[in-house]
Structure 1
């Protein structure tokens, strides 16, 4: 059964002038793309093409499209849109970034002159540019709220609350009654959830079995972020853990990708007689050399980085440190006078101290620096706790 669909222009109006005035021959042929057809008319099949298609996932939101969706659902007000979107980013539930697409193949089957031909073609799928992408922790938090507080995260509930706020602003509803009505159902639900001692949500996902050890491989949210795990807590042998890379997610990572993470930390060789080791830590991938850590660029893969690239990163970091160093002291190697974003400062024992105005940082002695550090400590404790200001209406 074949169906033809399209448009046939009955009155072309200005289009007749436009088409006749153009030099594009194809434009005049546009009107012949779909000639009028009648029901029951016999058609001769010259060529038939069938193209394999995949279901497209919903598009990711930008800030603008998310605001439009919130308006459509009646969530929030113009004054709350920006703070809401900013808050979910600050809490690490979503992050604005671009995602490189993956190449995949699809099949095109053509029937012509009684012969069928198959052709493989490729396309890029999953690419996003400057979109709001949910993080692993964001997905886990959402799943928890949907499971235990479905009424609170329901769009209709939020829209109803917004309408109640409007009524309160118009004097048609008492704010304390609105809060009381909400709290009398919300608080018992919180108590119930806490008393249930709900299992900590980790978003755990089983990937398969490690072919070398036969142990289970899974990914989940840990104390410091997403990680891969070989083995389980109830086994005699302790589980092995490896943090996921920035570009990886517990929802999409494969077994092969997870197993490769256990190749880290990886020895790159020696530089100046000391080992270079690449790994992934709490703050992302790094190269460690001489007890110093150098962060890898966002586009660098710790599993692929070479010794030459590691050396280049170390030397670049040393150059950067040298350029921002104003003064050091051989008697106190851990104390340095540095250039900062907001002016020169003293760095000592992982703490920074502001240099008072009027002092030349290049002329500071070790005793001067120690005095500034000591005075800084006194100023923080001087006067004790600040009293909260209170005002009373007479």
Structure 2
């Protein structure tokens, strides 16, 4: 559904006018603002010509005057402790863990870790839960810890209640003993265990702390018929933000803005006005974390199945991960299209949610399980029988003409579907077994910065990957292909590019000019368990496959 929305989406051009202003005070620093209204109506600028016209008009109406200054205090409450879905989302966002990896490590923390003389200790509560409920003894222990380590003013009073429909069989995911701080037990944990435990520990402690107090200052400035706006947010009391860092303002830029003291009637000088081109963006692709959130919102699955649902989609090649986003494959599109035609009722979003409700009612004794099963299975089995009879016709309908003949026997070549997607094969199979791969361009979740067209991954004559605009030859924008994986060097925030030498050999290099890191083996998103480097590498020889770290020389045999 999301992919269909993206395909139908048509980007729309629009422009904004960004200002750099300065108060009349000599020592005053510059601050940004944006034109939002023209003649008391929202300003909408569709093209460059209109942007230039409005820019010229604004320059004629300087200096601007402060129309209003509004200060508002905001209480920002802490998030509740983790449930399965929120843990997977946050671990995906902050730690770049897959749902499967998150649940595997959480299972290890739950089952127990050897903590020196204490022996095996279960460090967290059960990790498959949809309840934010916390036992009184755990809540009191956490608040005592906060009082002793941060002071009484940091102790919170919120008692969390689970949402309606939650099974509430287990309490929220939390540390079993808050005194086991991440720092104290770090030596007993692997790097990934430590990172996930710290995330769970901090979230739970933060959930029992007091709210943060913020002050948001909103300023409106008049420049003739134009109205400009800017705002800044600052922290008055950090509360739970003491240990749980997060974005406090509506956008990241607002957090960085430092406004000088302003009052109504102040004259403000214009230092710079900059028209900026934008394009509306299609609905974002799902990450593993946002897909879990959508599954939860739609009532599809349970905490115990979210990870398995995503793993199944990946394992069967219906989707693939790229830059931590899920891209539907051609195989996934075709399977979805077929199933939607054959079983429209079963593959409707509300079907699973309705079935989950009925299973809950059976558990409570409110419905008869045999009756529920019969209502579903009788019509379903009849449809299944009809489809089995048309199986050969369905398979033939999936075959496409490749437009050329087989180089071995001269029969027409066709495009068939295999387990891992499309491939080219001889129509004279099984007498002729000629096959070849079918290379297809892959669309990126990104627009061309020059024309707004779709960007695609293409291959050069030597087979190397690069990124180019789909509007070629009208638009000739291109750049090297980024793997989306971080350079393993600790002091570098660049990503690894996939490049090809003049001799046709693939290698990987950091995108930053001041970093000379180069590797000739395929990078992997798995981090190094020894030094924590976020990217390791895979080397395959006749003796087998080895995963290794290019920084500390750690290595292990890989399957």
The TM-score normalised by the length of structure 2 is 0.32
Structure with the greater relative contact order (CA < 8 A, sep ≥ 6): 1 or 2? 2
